[in-house]
Amino acid sequence: MTPVVSVRGLTKSYGDFKALKGVDFEIRAGEVFGLLGPNGAGKTTTIEILEGYRRRDAGEVEVLGADPAAAGLDWRGRIGVVLQSSAMYENLTVAEQLAQFAGYYEHPRPVDDVIELIGLEEKRDTRARRLSGGQRRRLDLGLALIGDPELIFLDEPTTGFDPGARRRAWETIRSLSGLGKTILLTTHYLDEVEQLADRVAVLREGRIVASGTVQELVGGAPATEIRYRRNGEVVVVETDEPTRVLHELTEAAIQRGEELDGLEVRRPSLEEVYLSLTQAEPE
């Protein structure tokens, strides 16, 4: 199947600063793809090249079968964009705002369907300036969705949210995915990709340093860690055979009649994988 997005050897510099140093990835139809990385890794540059806002220096980019740098108005009707900061007319109500943007598309989704999808039924006739940060972000999602696009770009959709607002935004994003939309999501939150993404690419200093499903990323990581305290000192054992090692440790302790203080068995979390990937010394 042809990928919805395909990026090969993408580079981009701002003056002397090389923002992207050869980025490759593909996004398949219907998946939620997470582009994960710390601030300044090149996430927004990448997504804005795919959206057609920025020109690339080199590389091949195809989005929905077209080059975003040369694509026309009909192509724009097939994508939905949520920018990093919310952008809307402050003096329009939720419904008016959606109706205004709906008018730009050939086959928009009905305004009330979208309002339901983003969970703003009670704010239908409230002007944007009176919405909370989380409600504005959901309206942002609604505006990206109103044209019934095939592909939706979400640039850091929950940055700066309180936990409740993030959870509601996640639910909305999941429901978009449930509609069969392909979604490209950038974020620097790990739990966000764990919650939402089918596949992840980790971007560091303009390069993809790892990619795959969340499972694969964690699976390719260092071994299981067993920690306990002995005579006040923390002992850490890393092993690929946690069952056997743990059994030996506990058996020995029982024979000695000791308690293993602070015993912990941990699989490396995505967070640790991510930190080990993004904090490695630059070559």
Partner 1 sequence: MPPKRPRRQGIACDAAARPCRLCRCGRLLRGAAAKHELESESGDDSRRRSSMRLFRHELRSQMRLYGRSRELAFFTFALPLIMFFLLGSVYGNDRIKSEGNVRGADYLLAGMLGYGAIATGFAGLSIMLVIRRESGILKRVRATPLPAWAYVVALLCTTLIAFSLEAICMIAIGRIFFHTHVHNLFSLALALVLGAAAFTALGLALTVLIKSSEGSSAVVNAIYLPVSFLSGAFFSPHSFPSALKAIANALPLVYMIRLVRDIAIHNQQIWNRPGDVAVIAAWGLAGAIIAARRFRWEPQEG
160 binds partner 1 (CB under 8 A): no
Cβ contact 144:172 at 8 Å: no
Among 13, 21, 22, 92, binds partner 1 (CB under 8 A): 92
Span from 18-26, 94-102, 112-120, 259-267 in contact with partner 1 (CB under 8 A): 94-102
Going 88 to 90 to 91 to 93, the CA torsion angle's sign is positive
> Of 1-60, which residues contact partner 1 (CB under 8 A)?
6, 51-53, 55, 58-60
Cβ contact 66:78 at 8 Å: no
Residues in CB range of 166: below 8 A, 6 or more apart = 134, 158, 192
Among 15, 72, 180, 282, binds partner 1 (CB under 8 A): 72
Nearer to partner 1, 150 or 171 (CB): 150
| Rounded Cα distance, 146 and 184, in Å | 17
Find, among 44, 51, 38, the residue nearest to 20 by Cα: 44
Question: x/- contact string, 136-155, with partner 1 (CB under 8 A)?
Answer: -------x---x--------
125 binds partner 1 (CB under 8 A): no
Among 87, 234, 236, 254, binds partner 1 (CB under 8 A): 87
Which H or E run includes 232?
A: none
HSE, CB side, 13 Å, CA atoms: give it for residue 99.
8
Span from 65-73, 195-203, 208-216, 245-253 in contact with partner 1 (CB under 8 A): 65-73
| Rounded Cα distance, 70 and 218, in Å | 38
Q: Judged by CB under 8 A, how many residues of this single chain contact partner 1?
A: 41
| Rounded Cα distance, 102 and 147, in Å | 6
Among 70, 178, 257, 282, binds partner 1 (CB under 8 A): 70
Q: Which residues of this chain interact with partner 1, rule CB under 8 A? A: 6, 51-53, 55, 58-60, 62, 64-67, 69-77, 79, 81, 83, 85-89, 91-92, 96, 100-101, 103-106, 143, 147
